[in-house]
Amino acid sequence: MQALIRLDVRVRAQVKKEGQWFISCAPALDVRSQGRTKEEALSNLSEALRLFIESCFGRGVLEEVLKDCGFQPAHDEDTTTNEDFLSVPISLISKKKHAAACAY
């Protein structure tokens, strides 16, 4: 049986209109995207963030990238609201075969 982990990463997002396009940005990770509507720009940003995080994880540099961006454990300090945050679902699947239960 393969193991699966699903994470929901919340990232502050900004959107502004430039001409015919909406430009979306996650300043904390310096990831940007665009779309013809605000919703499309945010959807494209969510995909770009997912691919960025998956790429960093796959290359073994996710911890380094997060530290370079100034992140550290928050210890359950939630001082934010949901209004400016984009939810980015990420799924990781193990390629190893796992037993049905942990050995400990």
Tens digit of pLDDT per residue, the chain (104 long)?
A: 678 889 899 999 999 999 999 999 999 999 999 999 999 999 999 999 999 999 999 999 999 999 999 999 887 666 566 668 899 989 888 877 654 555 55
Q: Which of 19, 39, 42, 17 is nearest to 31 (CA)?
A: 42
Domain count of the fold of the chain: 1
25, part of any domain = yes
Residue 43's SS3 state is helix
The DSSP 8-state label assigned to residue 36 in this structure reads S
Structural domain range at position 55: 4-71+87-93
79, part of any domain = no
29, part of any domain = yes
CATH number where 22 lies: 3.30.160.250
pTM of the model: 0.81
Nearest 5°: the CA angle 13, 17, 22 is 65
